[in-house]
């Protein structure tokens, strides 16, 4: 069976996209752009190696984003995209793949159907397979300034990535034409005289470059995603003590909460909500109360475990909402700290976390201050 490698170029600064960090690490619908792109290839059957090329000093950031995705150790890119691709290809050379798919990290919407078209062209004898789209808009050229002419668009095509290659051919082209100034690998294939096959590109396979692109991509993802919702509920009895844990925050109180772990009802409910959206049972299935390992354990471990299962499934948590039901302690003074803690555990922006509280107006066990309860709802996005 032929060996297929994927090479994702994520070494740029992405300044035009704004956000204060390289765009490949910015979140799109709650998930870093690089992770979205990597997941496309990590889930494609037959890809044996996934090589990421990153910018200088980005190793820790990249490994955090790629946690749960099988990949080779990232390599550092060069001053240009061409140098970065060459560095990635050289890193893959020892693995001796037959084919390589070269993708820009800023294109998170490529489909498996597109990859299949590329591989079909390569296996059919082409040295290089490129997704192309016809230019539909009327093109105008300003030259000299203030003088406009219409450019004929017949035969003009827009090139996308991923672009597929026979590995030995594209590596040789990069080595032979290292000084050429090109903007994509198809241009090197042209210089090297390789046999190029065109396949149908996809309009949805956009490249995210500007802040406006991020905003459009957010709207686009809403139409491409499979959203699933889970709910959770938990309750604990008050016992003698001097504090309670709620949503990851230690709060001084004249009572404690009874439980095998730290009895954090807020995090327990949210963990169950996430597991419910995944269809992965409940918190007791993953962390049995009879297991001594979890005696007194911080509930943040349970929530982090659930978040890890979401990543393994190729999904993403896009929103979490927790409601605490109690007469005491008062939640309002701690609400923002709770939101921040949950956001930290789930690795989400705090804007995607809601924490609120209510009472039962003196009714029931919470009204009698015998204990407290929590409800939670989690919304997950799955790729389609």
Spatial distance between the Cα atoms of 316 and 308, rounded to a whole number of angstroms: 10
From 209, 241, 259, the end of a domain falls on: 209
Task: Show the low-confidence residues of the chain (pLDDT under 70).
Answer: 14-19, 384
Handedness of CA 267, 272, 275, 281 (dihedral sign): positive
- Does 67 share its domain with 169? yes
- Does 203 share its domain with 229? no
Are 165 and 102 contacting, i.e. CB atoms less than 8 angstroms apart?
yes
pLDDT at 360: 95
* Residue 173 domain-assigned (yes or no): yes
Q: How many helices (H) and strands (E) does the chain have?
A: 12, 19
- Does 26 share its domain with 158? yes
pTM of the full structure: 0.71
* Residue 137 domain-assigned (yes or no): yes
- Does 241 share its domain with 196? no
Are 46 and 26 contacting, i.e. CB atoms less than 8 angstroms apart?
no
pLDDT at 356: 97
DSSP-derived secondary structure letter, 104: E
- pLDDT, one tens digit per residue, over 36-69 is 999 999 989 899 999 999 999 999 999 999 988 8
pLDDT at 18: 58
- Domain count for the chain, please give it: 2
* Percent of the chain at pLDDT exceeding 70: 98
- Does 130 share its domain with 196? yes
pLDDT at 105: 96
pLDDT at 88: 97
- Does 97 share its domain with 32? yes
* Residue 215 domain-assigned (yes or no): no
- Does 86 share its domain with 200? yes
pLDDT at 312: 83
pLDDT at 15: 65
* Residue 219 domain-assigned (yes or no): no
- Does 266 share its domain with 320? yes
- pLDDT, one tens digit per residue, over 332-364 is 999 999 999 999 999 888 999 999 999 999 999
What angle do helix axes 300-312 and 335-346 make, rounded to 10 degrees? 40
* Residue 218 domain-assigned (yes or no): no
* Residue 217 domain-assigned (yes or no): no
- Residue 47 maps to which CATH number? 3.90.550.10
Containing domain of residue 322, as a range? Answer: 225-383
- Does 169 share its domain with 276? no
From 154, 177, 209, the end of a domain falls on: 209
- Does 240 share its domain with 104? no
4, 27, 309 from 60: Cα distances, Å: 26, 17, 21
- Does 63 share its domain with 37? yes
- Residue 325 maps to which CATH number? 3.30.1330.50
- Does 230 share its domain with 203? no
* Residue 350 domain-assigned (yes or no): yes
From 181, 209, 237, the end of a domain falls on: 209
* Residue 56 domain-assigned (yes or no): yes
């Amino acid at each position: 069976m032929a060996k297929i490698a994927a090479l994702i170029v994520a070494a740029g600064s992405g300044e035009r996209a704004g956000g204060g960090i390289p765009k490949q690490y910015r979140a799109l619908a709650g998930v870093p752009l690089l992770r979205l792109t990597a997941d496309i290839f990590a889930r494609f059957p037959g890809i044996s190696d996934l090589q990421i090329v990153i910018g200088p000093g980005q190793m820790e950031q990249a490994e955090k984003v790629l946690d749960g995705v099988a990949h080779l150790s990232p390599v550092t890119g060069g001053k240009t995209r061409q140098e970065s691709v060459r560095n990635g290809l050289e890193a893959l050379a020892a693995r001796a793949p037959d084919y390589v798919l070269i993708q820009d990290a800023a294109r998170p919407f490529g489909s498996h159907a597109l990859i299949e078209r590329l591989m079909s062209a390569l296996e059919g004898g082409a040295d290089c397979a490129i997704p192309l789209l016809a230019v539909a808009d009327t093109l105008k050229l300003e030259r000299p300034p203030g003088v406009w002419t219409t450019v004929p668009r017949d035969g003009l095509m827009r090139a996308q990535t991923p672009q597929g290659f026979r590995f030995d051919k594209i590596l040789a082209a990069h080595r032979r034409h290292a000084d050429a100034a090109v903007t994509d690998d198809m241009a090197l294939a042209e210089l090297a005289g390789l046999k190029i096959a065109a396949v149908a590109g996809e309009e949805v396979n956009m490249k995210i470059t500007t802040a406006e692109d991020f905003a459009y991509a957010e709207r686009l993802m809403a139409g491409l995603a499979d959203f699933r919702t889970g709910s959770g509920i938990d309750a604990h009895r008050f016992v003698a003590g001097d504090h309670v844990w709620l949503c990851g925050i230690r709060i001084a109180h004249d009572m404690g909460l009874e439980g095998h772990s730290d009895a954090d009802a807020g995090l327990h409910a949210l963990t169950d909500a996430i597991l419910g959206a995944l269809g992965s049972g409940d918190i007791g299935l993953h962390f049995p109360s009879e297991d001594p390992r979890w005696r007194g354990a911080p509930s943040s471990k349970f929530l982090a475990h659930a978040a890890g299962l979401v990543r393994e499934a190729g999904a993403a948590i896009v929103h979490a909402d927790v409601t605490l039901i109690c007469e005491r302690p008062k939640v309002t003074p701690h609400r923002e700290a709770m939101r921040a803690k949950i956001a930290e555990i789930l690795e989400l922006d705090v804007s995607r976390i809601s924490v609120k509280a209510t009472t039962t107006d003196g009714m029931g066990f919470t009204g009698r201050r015998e204990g407290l309860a929590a409800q939670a709802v989690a919304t997950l996005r799955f790729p389609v």
